[in-house]
C-alpha cells in the first residue's frame, strides 16, 4: 500500500466564521466548501495561542508555547546576522516525515526565525522573509536568495506550490505546506480589484460592528474605515480560495487526489468587529481569549478514506495535530518530552472514538491562560487579572463575565477550573520557558524566551 501524501494549507488570521461551509452566506469560499463536502470539518478546533508564531510552532512540534518558547509573533531574528532559529533542537513532525522517506516542501509563510535557512526536514524552501507585508512586491526567499516578488503574493505562493507538485512522480511520498499570508492585513488596495468588487454591495450582516471594546489596543494598523477593510478581508479570503482550487485541481489532474490527505487550517482566529474590536488575541490589551480569537478553521479531506460532508463537534486543539497526523500516516515517533496532545485520527478514519479523557482544551498567550469545556470557559491572567468565567451553554457569545457578579457563580466552579488549569500547565510547561514568567504584551518577540533578567529584553 502506497504511503499517503499530505497537502497542508494554512491561512493567516482567518476566523473560523469566515467560510461559507461554516454558515457565512456572504463570503465566497467555494473551494474551501468543496473540501468540507469531501471531508470532515471540525467545529471546535482551537489554536494553542491566539497569535501566529506560537500557534504555528505548536502545530509543527506538538508543544505548547511554554514548551517551545515562542510566546508572541516573531518580531526580530528573521533575517540578517542576528537571525535566530527559534525551534532549534526541537522535533517537528516534518523531520519525522523526512526521516521516513517523505519529500518535504514549504511554500509561503514561515515566521519562526532564520528565514534564510531551510530547516525542520524541508528540502524545498520558498518562504516569506518575515511574517507579513503588502501583497505586491513581497519580500521572499527564493533559491536561498532574498527577492521582491512583483506579483500578487497569494498567487505567487500557489505558483511555487504547483511547481513542487509537478515535480512529484509518485516514487516517494510528499508533504507540502502551503502557508498563505492571507487574509492577514493589509486589506485596502492590496487585493485584485475584480475580487474586491464582488463585495461592493455586501451588507456584511455576517460581521456586524459592535461598540468599541474597552480593552481595544490604540492605533490599530487598519484605520477606521471598517467597510473598506471588510471588503479587503473578504476579498483576501476569496482570492486565497481561488488558489486553493488550483491546488486541488492539480492533484486531481495528476491522479493523486485519493492518495493525498488535504488539511485546511487557520493559525489563529480573528475578530472583524466581533466583541467590538479588530484583531486576534493581541487585538486587545489585556490579551483576550474569546472564541473568535482562539477557534480556527479545520478541514481534513481524503476521498475514499475520510468520511465526506461531516461536521465534527469534538473539542480538539493545535497541540493534537502532530500526534494525529503521524498516527493517520502510520508513522511512529518517540517524543523527547511529555507532549500534551493526543491523536484524533480514528475520527478521520470513521472509526469509533471515545475522545480524550476530558473535554477541556487549553490555551495560552504569555501570562494569559484559558481552560475551556463545552460548557465553561475560565480565563486567568497572571499575576493580577482580570479573570473571566463564561457559561457557554447559556452565553455562547461570551457577553457576561460571571466573575463580575455573584449571581449564578459559585466559588466551587471557579476553584475547580482553576485547579484543572494549574495542574495541566504544571505537568507540561518547561519552567525555563514558562509564559507566566514572561512580560508578553502582544508587541512581538525579540529574542529567545527565558532571557529576561539576563541583560536582554525578549518582548515589546
* Domains defined along the chain, listed by start: 5-348 (3.40.720.10), 361-437 (3.30.1120.10)
- What pLDDT is attached to residue 455? 46
Mean pLDDT in residue range 231-248 = 98
Average pLDDT in the chain: 94
Nearest to 217 by CA among 444, 55, 369: 444
Cα–Cα distance for residue pair 237/187, rounded to 1 Å: 11
Please give the angle made by the CA atoms of 333, 430 and 460, to the nearest 5 degrees: 115
Q: Which of 12-16, 207-211, 335-339, 363-367 has the lowest mean pLDDT?
A: 335-339
The CA-to-CA distance between both ends of the chain, in Å, stands at: 51
- Whole-model pTM above 0.95? yes
Cα–Cα distance for residue pair 21/16, rounded to 1 Å: 10
Q: How many helices (H) and strands (E) does the chain have?
A: 11, 18
| Helix extents (H) in 280-410 | 291-294, 321-329, 345-348
- What pLDDT is attached to residue 124? 98
In which order are the strands placed within the sheet that holds 376-381?
Answer: 361-365, 368-372, 376-381, 388-391
Mean pLDDT in residue range 270-280 = 97
Q: Which residues contact 420 (CB under 8 A, 6 or more apart)?
A: 358, 360, 371
Q: What is the pLDDT of residues 375-391, one digit of tens each?
A: 999 999 999 999 999 99
Cα–Cα distance for residue pair 128/137, rounded to 1 Å: 11
Cα–Cα distance for residue pair 359/106, rounded to 1 Å: 33
- Percent with pLDDT over 70 in the chain: 96
| Residue written as grid cell 488535504 | 262
Cα–Cα distance for residue pair 202/213, rounded to 1 Å: 25
| Residue written as grid cell 505562493 | 157
Amino acid at each position: 500500500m502506497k504511503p499517503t501524501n499530505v497537502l497542508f494549507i494554512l491561512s493567516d488570521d482567518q476566523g473560523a466564521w469566515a467560510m461559507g461551509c461554516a454558515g457565512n452566506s456572504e463570503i465566497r469560499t467555494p473551494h474551501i466548501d468543496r473540501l468540507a463536502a469531501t471531508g470532515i470539518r471540525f467545529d471546535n478546533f482551537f489554536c494553542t495561542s491566539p497569535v501566529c508564531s506560537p500557534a504555528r510552532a505548536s502545530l509543527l512540534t506538538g508543544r505548547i508555547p511554554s514548551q517551545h518558547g515562542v510566546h508572541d509573533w516573531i518580531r526580530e531574528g528573521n533575517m540578517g546576522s542576528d537571525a535566530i532559529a527559534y525551534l532549534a533542537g526541537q522535533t517537528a513532525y516534518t523531520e519525522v516525515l523526512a526521516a521516513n522517506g517523505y519529500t518535504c516542501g514549504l511554500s509561503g509563510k514561515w515566521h519562526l526565525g532564520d528565514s534564510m535557512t531551510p530547516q525542520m526536514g524541508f528540502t524545498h524552501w520558498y518562504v516569506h522573509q518575515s511574517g507579513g507585508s503588502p501583497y505586491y512586491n513581497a519580500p521572499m526567499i527564493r533559491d536561498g536568495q532574498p527577492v521582491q516578488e512583483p506579483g500578487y503574493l497569494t498567487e505567487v505562493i500557489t505558483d511555487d506550490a504547483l511547481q513542487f507538485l509537478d515535480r512529484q512522480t509518485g516514487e516517494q511520498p510528499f508533504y507540502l505546506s502551503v502557508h498563505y499570508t492571507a487574509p492577514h492585513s493589509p486589506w485596502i488596495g492590496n487585493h485584485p480589484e475584480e475580487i474586491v468588487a464582488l463585495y461592493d454591495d455586501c451588507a456584511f450582516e455576517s460581521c456586524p460592528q459592535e461598540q468599541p471594546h474597552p480593552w481595544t489596543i490604540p492605533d490599530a494598523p487598519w484605520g477606521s474605515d471598517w467597510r473598506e477593510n471588510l471588503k479587503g478581508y473578504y476579498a483576501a479570503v476569496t482570492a486565497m480560495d481561488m488558489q486553493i482550487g488550483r491546488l486541488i485541481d492539480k492533484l486531481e489532474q495528476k491522479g493523486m487526489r485519493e492518495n493525498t490527505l488535504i488539511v485546511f487550517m487557520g493559525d489563529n482566529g480573528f475578530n472583524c468587529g466581533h466583541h467590538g474590536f479588530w484583531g486576534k488575541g493581541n487585538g486587545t490589551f489585556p490579551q483576550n481569549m474569546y472564541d473568535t480569537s482562539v477557534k480556527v478553521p479545520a478541514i481534513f479531506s481524503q476521498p475514499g478514506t475520510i468520511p465526506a460532508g461531516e461536521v465534527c463537534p469534538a473539542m480538539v486543539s493545535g497541540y493534537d495535530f502532530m500526534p494525529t497526523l503521524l498516527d493517520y500516516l502510520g508513522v511512529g515517533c518517540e517524543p523527547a518530552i511529555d507532549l500534551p496532545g493526543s491523536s484524533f485520527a480514528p475520527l478521520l478514519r470513521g472509526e469509533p472514538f471515545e475522545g480524550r479523557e476530558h473535554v477541556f482544551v487549553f490555551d495560552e498567550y504569555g501570562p494569559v491562560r484559558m481552560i475551556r469545556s463545552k460548557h465553561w470557559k475560565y480565563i486567568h491572567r497572571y499575576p493580577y487579572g482580570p479573570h473571566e468565567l463564561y457559561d457557554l451553554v447559556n452565553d455562547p457569545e461570551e457577553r457576561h463575565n460571571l466573575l463580575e457578579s455573584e449571581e449564578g457563580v459559585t466559588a466551587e466552579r471557579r476553584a475547580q477550573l482553576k485547579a484543572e488549569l494549574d495542574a495541566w500547565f504544571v505537568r507540561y510547561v518547561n519552567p525555563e520557558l514558562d509564559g507566566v514568567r514572561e512580560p508578553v504584551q502582544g508587541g512581538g518577540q525579540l529574542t529567545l524566551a527565558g532571557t529576561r533578567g539576563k541583560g536582554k529584553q525578549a518582548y515589546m
